[in-house]
Amino acid sequence: MKNFIKYDFYVQLFFLITGCLVTIIKGWDGWILFYFIVGIPQLISSLVRIFLKIKISPLFLIYGITILPVWISLVILITIGIDNEVTAIPTYIAMAAFFYSPFMALLYALESHNLYQSLK
């Protein structure tokens, strides 16, 4: 568990820096890629943390409550397709996340850092 926390911090930092560099290099197209470059590893990390029963802070809990519905909404939008009656709510969730998820990604990386520092 201690090794996972250490490696998880470095992985989160790597993908956060990579996402920022892609955003700077590619401009608007990079901004869209940022969500996937940073978000997918954070989603995997959060799921692993839940199953490994690693200490969950209030910030981590807020992250899960705000970000996991976005991924569920994207899966619904991709699998069902464009049907306005069925996908209205998931579309609104994904659009709202467009604004708050970069801040949540940064907070998640900071929380990983704090957890890593507490183990030293």
At 16-49, the pLDDT tens digits run 899 888 888 988 777 778 888 888 888 888 888 8
The residue among 11 and 61 whose pLDDT is bigger is: 11
Alpha helices in 1-120 (DSSP H): 2-26, 28-52, 58-80, 84-119
Is residue 9 a contact partner of residue 111, using CB atoms and an 8 Å limit?
no
Count of other CB atoms within 10 angstroms of residue 42: 23
Confidence at residue 78, expressed as pLDDT on a 0 to 100 scale: 74
Q: How far apart are CA 18 and CA 26, in angstroms?
A: 12
Confidence at residue 28, expressed as pLDDT on a 0 to 100 scale: 76
Q: Is the pTM of this model over 0.75?
A: no
* 118: Cβ contacts below 8 Å, ≥ 6 apart: none
pLDDT exceeds 90 at position 14: yes
Confidence at residue 73, expressed as pLDDT on a 0 to 100 scale: 74
